[in-house]
């Protein structure tokens, strides 16, 4: 292993830990709002970049690269939606969700759902589902971290995985949301620098994009099409649509992402944050897919496509720059993993333990429950990643499809549709999660030509509309909540929280 | 463009162009949001 690469990685970890400690001390307000939402003091730039770096996980360096390597330009369907994910999120629910969450005194995205759709069942089902799915999502980050560490250090996968999981857990224990947000901000910059550096090196190596495309056309022309290798997806518009939706509107159903709205310094932060997110995405999102495509020429005999970006970096870049790229890859993994773990621990402690088992739990006990949950996820995740690791692409698409399908209508209708009631939200969450889950479990995508995201969204949106309308008389939306929605929609200084 | 088929060119460049327009549209349509910006906290 190159000592230069190691020095860069250690330097990177030191800087991240330093920022984390600084942010932790700065945000040490002592109350739960400070710990979970950074005291709602996050401005537009940090909001945009924590939103994006949390959304762009190790998937971007492993899954996206592999997709480009295996399926060529087909992978760009995913990038096409992803570029707009941040601004769609901010423009549709950002301002109103920020306002409504403060008006209802909600500190987690699951508590917010219960306050908007009053029922313990909402909190139990949404909390349980979120803990399970985010726990699985962390698994993908562990696998990505383990693979990367193994390649960089030359250690066996089992040892490298243990090292990666250990670093991620240590780092998550640092502190609350403010530490996560500010380290995410730094990591998003490292991610952009790293990915653009490797893209530039790859383009120079192949003689530019035009020359690369001509060479690929001679090798396998179907890789240049929008339908994948051997035109395997030809005419499957339902799959292409799902690929666009999953990382654009799908974001609005991810609890660990919509928390970013709740933590903004003011509702209108969403405006500038949306613009910053688009700018960052334009720089970052397409690059890993294109590097994966170029790797077909640079490394035609690659055994594991998920290693495409790692391997290209090692082949083309000098050790010092490889260190920067490796730091970028770890940044993508860790910025997502810490957010997922913090969110999962918070939901387990506040939305499940305190809400259903110990309503008088002290804050100390809540933090202990949260940390035990994080540790449990770490141990289980390590074992699964060690014994039978699925591909990062599989896990990420599975989890994000289920979460996006389950929660998209609930979060959007919470601020936009005054007739969206509790039975409608419950039906929507259950139908969206079930359909998307089963769709992937029994492999209906290829049989139906429909992406699980499209199937899940269709189920959840139609359930929300039909059930809400059918149960309006029996379960009307309480007037108090209608008033809060009106206040959240109104432009002007916010009224006092209820 | 770049020796890509037309459909791939639209996928690669069309969607980013759409999102740029969407973002400018969002900024334009929300220019009156400044009315809400009283009593801000110390975000950056």
Asked if residues A45 and A185 have their Cβ atoms less than 8 Å apart, the reply is: yes
Cα–Cα distance, A497 to A281 (Å, whole number): 34
Largest Cα span, chain B? 54
- Supply the Cα-derived Rg of chain B in whole angstroms: 18
| Whole-number Å distance between alpha carbons of A234 and A85 | 25
Q: How confident is the model at residue A242 (pLDDT cuts 50, 70, 90)?
A: very high
- Across A143-170, average pLDDT: 83
Check residue B44 and give its pLDDT: 41
Contacts of A436 (CB under 8 A, 6+ apart): A401, A402, A404, A405, A406, A452, A453, A455, A456, A459
Cβ atoms of residues A266 and A101 within 8 Å: no
Return residues 265-294 of A near B (CB < 8 Å).
265-269, 271, 274-275, 278, 281-282, 286
Torsion of CA B7, A65, B19, A493, to 10 degrees: 160
User: What percentage of chain A has pLDDT greater than the value 70?
Assistant: 97
pLDDT reading at A346 higher than 90:
no
Of A24 and A295, which is predicted with more confidence? Answer: A295
Quote the minimal CA–CA distance from A233 to chain B in Å. 14
Q: Which residue has the tokens 């379960």?
A: A475
Model pLDDT for residues B1-44, shown as the tens digit of each residue: 889 999 999 999 999 999 999 999 999 999 988 777 655 454 44
Beta bridge pairs of residue A42: A264
- With bands split at pLDDT 50, 70 and 90, how would you rate the model's confidence at A55? confident
Is-contact A245 A453, C-beta < 8 A? Answer: yes
The pLDDT, as a whole number, for residue B38 is 59
What is the distance, to the nearest Å, from the Cα of residue A289 to the centroid of all Cα atoms in its chain? 17
Instruction: Write out pLDDT tens, residues A362-390.
Output: 877 887 888 888 888 888 888 988 887 77
**Whether the predicted pLDDT of A295 surpasses 80:** yes
Tell me what pLDDT residue A12 has: 82
pLDDT confidence of A2, banded at 50, 70, 90? low
**Are residues A34 and A367 in contact, defined by beta-carbon separation less than 8 angstroms?**
no
Q: Say what the pLDDT of residue A133 is.
A: 92
Q: What is the pLDDT of residues A120-136, one digit of tens each?
A: 999 999 999 999 999 88
Average pLDDT over every residue of A110-118: 96
Rounded to the nearest angstrom, the gap between the alpha carbon of residue A29 and the centroid of all alpha carbons in its chain is: 27
Is 70 exceeded by the pLDDT of residue A428?
yes
**Mean pLDDT (whole number) for A217-230:** 96
Reference A429, options A96, A119, A93; nearest CA is: A119
A498 vs A331: CA distance, rounded Å: 39
Average of per-residue pLDDT across A114-123:
95
pLDDT at A453 over 70: yes
Q: What integer pLDDT is reported at residue A473 of this predicted model?
A: 95
- Determine, for residues B33 and A266 on separate chains, whether the beta-carbon distance falls below 8 Å: no
Q: In this predicted structure, what is the pLDDT of residue B43?
A: 44
SS3 A323: helix
- Which pTM does this prediction carry? 0.89
pLDDT at B42 (0 to 100): 44
What average pLDDT does the structure give for chain A? 89
Put simply, the answer to whether A269 touches B8 (Cβ < 8 Å) is no
Q: Which of A168-172, A246-250, B37-41 shows the lowest mean pLDDT across its residues?
A: B37-41
Mean pLDDT of A348-358: 89
Query: What's the average model confidence in pLDDT over A223-241?
Result: 94
3-state class of A266 per DSSP?
Answer: coil
Q: Which pLDDT does position A53 carry in this prediction?
A: 86
The alpha helices in A347-391, defined as continuous H runs, are: 363-387
CB-CB contact of A210 with B3 (8 Å): yes
Assigned token pair, A271: 């405006």
With CB atoms and an 8 Å threshold, state whether A46 touches B44.
yes
Cα end-to-end distance, chain A, whole Å = 58
Of A452, A208, A126, nearest to B1 by C-alpha is A208
Task: State mean pLDDT over A399-423.
Answer: 96
User: How close, in Å, is residue A213 to chain B by CA atoms?
Assistant: 6
Contacts of A5 (CB under 8 A, 6+ apart): A152, A319, A320, A322, A323, A326
User: Do residue A80 and residue B15 have CB atoms under 8 angstroms apart?
Assistant: yes
Q: Taking CB atoms and an 8 Å limit, are B2 and A275 in contact across chains?
A: no
ipTM over 0.85: yes
């Amino acid at each position: 292993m190159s000592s230069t690469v190691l020095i860069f990685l250690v330097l990177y970890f030191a800087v991240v830990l330093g920022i984390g400690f600084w942010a932790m001390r700065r945000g040490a307000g002592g109350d739960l709002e400070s710990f979970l939402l950074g005291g709602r003091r996050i401005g537009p730039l940090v909001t945009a970049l924590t939103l994006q770096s949390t959304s762009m996980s190790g998937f971007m360096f492993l899954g996206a690269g592999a997709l480009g390597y295996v399926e060529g330009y087909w992978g760009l369907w995913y990038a096409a939606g992803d570029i707009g994910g941040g601004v769609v999120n901010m423009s549709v629910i950002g301002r109103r969700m920020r306002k409504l969450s403060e008006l209802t005194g909600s500190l987690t995205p699951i508590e917010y759902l219960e306050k908007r759709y009053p029922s313990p069942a909402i909190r139990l089902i949404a909390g349980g589902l979120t803990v399970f799915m985010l726990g699985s999502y962390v698994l993908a980050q562990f696998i990505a971290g383990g693979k990367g560490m193994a390649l960089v250090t030359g250690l066996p996968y089992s040892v490298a995985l243990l090292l990666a999981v250990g670093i991620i857990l240590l780092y998550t224990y640092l502190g609350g949301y403010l530490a996560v947000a500010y380290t995410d901000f730094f990591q998003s910059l490292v991610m952009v620098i790293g990915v653009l550096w490797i893209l530039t090196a790859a383009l120079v190596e192949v003689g530019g994009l035009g020359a690369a495309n001509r060479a690929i056309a001679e090798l396998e022309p179907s890789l240049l099409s929008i339908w994948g290798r051997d035109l395997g997806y030809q005419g499957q518009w339902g799959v292409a649509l799902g690929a666009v939706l999953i990382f654009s509107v799908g974001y609005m159903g991810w609890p660990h992402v919509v928390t970013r709205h709740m933590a903004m310094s003011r509702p209108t932060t969403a405006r500038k944050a949306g613009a910053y997110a688009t700018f960052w995405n334009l720089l970052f999102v397409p690059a890993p897919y294109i590097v994966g495509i170029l790797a077909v020429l640079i490394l035609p005999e690659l055994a594991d496509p998920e290693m495409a970006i790692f391997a290209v970096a090692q082949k083309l870049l000098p050790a010092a720059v490889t260190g920067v790229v490796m730091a970028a890859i770890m940044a993508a993994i860790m910025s997502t993993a810490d957010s997922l773990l913090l969110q999962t621990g918070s939901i387990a402690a506040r939305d499940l333990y305190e809400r259903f088992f110990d309503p008088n739990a002290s804050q100390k006990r809540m933090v202990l429950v949260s940390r035990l949950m994080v540790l449990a996820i770490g141990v289980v995740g390590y074992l699964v990643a060690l014994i039978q690791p699925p591909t990062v692409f599989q896990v990420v698409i599975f989890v994000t499809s289920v979460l996006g399908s389950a929660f998209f209508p609930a979060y959007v209708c919470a601020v936009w549709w005054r007739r969206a009631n509790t039975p409608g939200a419950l039906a929507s969450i259950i139908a969206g999660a079930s359909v998307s889950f089963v769709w992937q479990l029994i492999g209906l995508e290829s049989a139906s030509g429909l992406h699980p995201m499209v199937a899940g969204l269709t189920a959840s949106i139609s359930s929300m509309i039909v059930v809400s309308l059918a149960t309006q008389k029996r379960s009307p939306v309480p007037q108090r909540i209608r008033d809060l929605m009106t206040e959240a929609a109104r432009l002007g200084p916010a009224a006092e929280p209820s | 463009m770049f020796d890509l088929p037309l459909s791939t060119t639209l996928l690669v460049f069309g969607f980013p162009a759409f999102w740029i327009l969407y973002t400018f549209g969002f900024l334009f349509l929300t220019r009156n949001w400044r009315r809400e910006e009283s009593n801000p906290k110390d975000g950056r």
